[in-house]
Amino acid sequence: MNTQGVAKVAIIGGGCASITAAFELTRPELNGRYEVTLYQLGWRLGGKGASGRGPSGRIEEHGLHIWNGFYDNAFRLLRECYAELAPNPGPFDVADWRQAFIPENEIGLSARSTAEGWHSWSACFPAPKGLPGDPIAPTDLMSLPRYMSRAIDLVSALLRSVDSRYAADTPPATGLTDPERVLSAIGDLLGGAASASTAVLIEGLALLQVGLKLVPTSLSSPLTELAEWIARTLRSWFEKSLILTPRFQHIWEVMDIVVATMVGVLRFGLLTHPRGLDAINDYESRDWLRMNGASERSLQSPFIVALYNLAFSYADGDRGQPSIAAGQAVRGAMRMFFGYRGALFWRLRAGMGDVVFAPFHEALRRRGVRFEFFHRLTDARIADAADLAPGERPYVTALEFDVQAKVRDGAEYSPLTMVNGRPCWPSTPDFDQLEQGDLMRAEGRDFESHWDRRRVGARRLEVTRDFDFVVLGVSVAEVANVCRDIIDQDPRWRRMVEEVKTTETQAFQVWLGEDLEQLGWTASPRIGTAHVEAFDTWCDMAHTVPEEGWTHRPRTVVYFCSALSEAAAPGERDDPAYPERRREQVRGAAINFLRRQARALWPKAYDAQGEFRWEILVQPEASETEAYAPRQGVDRFDSQYWRANVNPTDRYVLSRPGSLKHRISPLDITYDNLTIAGDWTDCGFNEGCVEAAVMSGRLAAHALSGAPRLEDIVGYDHP
């Protein structure tokens, strides 16, 4: 403890959660109570969201990062960061955060059809008022009844879209005074003027809502009966009345899932359950929907597959093992579809590193946060129980690091590079700043690799002397490696690292000399999922090309990603050649994808012999190295970018049934001077994403400082 009463905080890791914790703890309102040092493996911030600039200044990502319109915490912090830098922006383009994102309300879904091969279905979502990160009025807070009301709205709208006799843009209701008159008016006014079947369903939906008023003392049973009646009638109506065209089929599937969810919410008493949706987290999502009447056809629909794909929700990366806890899945879907503002999705105009982490790095640096790059945590030591005073909680006594590299002349490492006038993170470290940098470059040191343990020294930080508090912001897959004392003696932590599973992921990017229309893509959506097995999710990122450093720009760049099936045999991951072997597998899968499966997307990308036209791949212009020497044929793929996210720090965190109760909250106080941060913690929204990480980082800050208030963490108090 220093004499000024300033607490020294060591933050381990530089992902979204850690950056958030640093930002919260150094807010001016806290009057410098916390002196923050962030220790980062390798040369760049970002964790799973790190990106870099490669040859031709091209953006190289871990995967496809799209922000959802309900990421209120993430957007709020980023907006605050931009606003803080704006008066003195320097080279940062922070005048308007909206320039850093592109709203996207259309998503494409694809499904296999025996008659037609793959067919696509695009869904366009309305743009509700407001922007993500705007203050949320208490009246806008979401509750399960409100979600159910929105769900009824959705079903009604879909019904109207099927039956054109019901206008989709009918003005908002005006009406009557009491339920009996409402029911009477429906019967009197509709008469025989409308389709009886549709009228019955619309009446049923109204009855569901009116029923809530009619039977206030006995909430569950009659409402459940009404919802089940609607579900039965809807299913019967659909199968009798509609031709199974793909369009109507998908509308039906969405309605079926929504209605099954409504039935389940009522059947399981979730409206009043003290645990909210957590009460059903031991069920697998599809199983729970099936229990509540969803059809097998709907459960296999592209709508459901998309929800799984977007969260890589497959045990061991195996598409045969879809796995996500039902409560979190429902929560995620409700937030995603009924909680977004401005747009359903927001695409980043440049890389995550450029749009997010570079500005945060600058803002934090201006606030006095110190960054210690090239520091790999190897162990967090805990005080011996025998040394604790009565009533004293265990605490971290020391942090031990491998120092991967030292900066020449003891200087501070300057991590950013300039591309098109914008400060960016490079894809490789700036070896010129490092002692023995030429040698390290020649040796091909990979500072981010779990398997490359080369170091130039070690460092030990001691409690009180070097730090007072610790924010552990490494990924859960790394916790067992760096918290051995805790894992040895604490069954809760042991259970957490055993039960909170992660999966490897894969990604590739191709820069193309022809745009998607030229390649035969005729649909409008630029985000697609539920597609083909190897790489199920893709996004056209043409808007990022001008941000790159090309002299002759490609027409577009397309990102692909998916879970990576775990093929590892016991002990295989101990093999230093494992990451390269996996990377080679991803390369092979990507080439195979382009040769065969991409035909469903880009039929004109193939020549008369049916071979993929490899020449449409644009090679980097900076071909001074062997790696980017001009290539022909399939070898041309080697000029593109791909990666296997197999490092423990890169693995995606899953929300498997039965596992979420084993997560530990950043608010947990078992260890007196230690809190945790990351999308693997019990942070209120327990699903791997930027928003969860930011929420966790805010909770970690609250655990140390009491700020922000829990009520100000959007979505933390949520069913």
Partner 1 sequence: MSIDGRLSREELARDRPIRAFGAAAAVNSAGESGLDGPQKADTLISDILKAGYRTVEDNIQEGRRTAERLRAGVIAPADNGESAKAVANRVMHLSKELSVSWIELIVTVLRDSELRGLIDRVAAPGRPAAGPSEAAGVADPGASVGAPITHRVSSRQPIEVTLSALPAGASPAIGGLHSLNPATPPITRVGFHARDDGGLELRIDIDDSQPPGAYAGAVVDAVSLRPIGALSVRILE
Distant-in-sequence, close-in-space partners of 142: CB < 8 Å, separation ≥ 6: 334, 335, 338, 339, 718, 719
* Residue (113 or 143) nearer to partner 1, CB: 143
**Closest approach of partner 1 to the CB of residue 702, in Å:** 8
Residue closest to 425 by CA, chosen among 54, 63, 69: 54
**Closest approach of partner 1 to the CB of residue 277, in Å:** 7
- SS3 sequence, 30-46? HCCCEEEEEECCCCCCC
* Residue (275 or 366) nearer to partner 1, CB: 275
* Residue (250 or 663) nearer to partner 1, CB: 663
**Closest approach of partner 1 to the CB of residue 639, in Å:** 48
* Residue (137 or 386) nearer to partner 1, CB: 137
* Residue (605 or 664) nearer to partner 1, CB: 664
CB 508 within 8 Å of CB 558: no
**Closest approach of partner 1 to the CB of residue 141, in Å:** 6
Residue type (1 letter), 456: V
Q: Which residues of 457-479 are buried (b: 16+ CB within 10 A; e: fewer)?
A: eeeebebeeebbbbbbbbbbbbb
- Specify the 3-state DSSP secondary structure of 562: strand
- Specify the 3-state DSSP secondary structure of 207: helix
Q: Which residue has the tokens 């720009």?
A: 553
- Supply the angle between the helices 246-267 and 326-338 in degrees, to the nearest 10: 120
* Residue (30 or 102) nearer to partner 1, CB: 30
Residue closest to 486 by CA, chosen among 394, 553, 411: 394
**Closest approach of partner 1 to the CB of residue 181, in Å:** 8
CB 322 within 8 Å of CB 286: yes
* Residue (275 or 365) nearer to partner 1, CB: 275
CB 657 within 8 Å of CB 282: yes
* Residue (581 or 661) nearer to partner 1, CB: 661
Element (H, E) at 490: none
Distant-in-sequence, close-in-space partners of 467: CB < 8 Å, separation ≥ 6: 8, 9, 10, 37, 399, 461, 673
Where does 444-522 show beta strands of DSSP type E? 457-462, 469-472, 502-503, 505-512
* Residue (14 or 204) nearer to partner 1, CB: 204
Residue closest to 130 by CA, chosen among 98, 85, 88, 86: 98
* Residue (186 or 622) nearer to partner 1, CB: 186
* Residue (5 or 444) nearer to partner 1, CB: 5
Instruction: Compute the distance between CA of residue 507 and CA of residue 558 in angstroms, rounded to an integer.
Output: 11
Instruction: Compute the distance between CA of residue 19 and CA of residue 25 in angstroms, rounded to an integer.
Output: 10
Instruction: Compute the distance between CA of residue 253 and CA of residue 259 in angstroms, rounded to an integer.
Output: 10
**Closest approach of partner 1 to the CB of residue 67, in Å:** 22
DSSP character string of 660-679: GGG---TT--SSTTEEE-ST
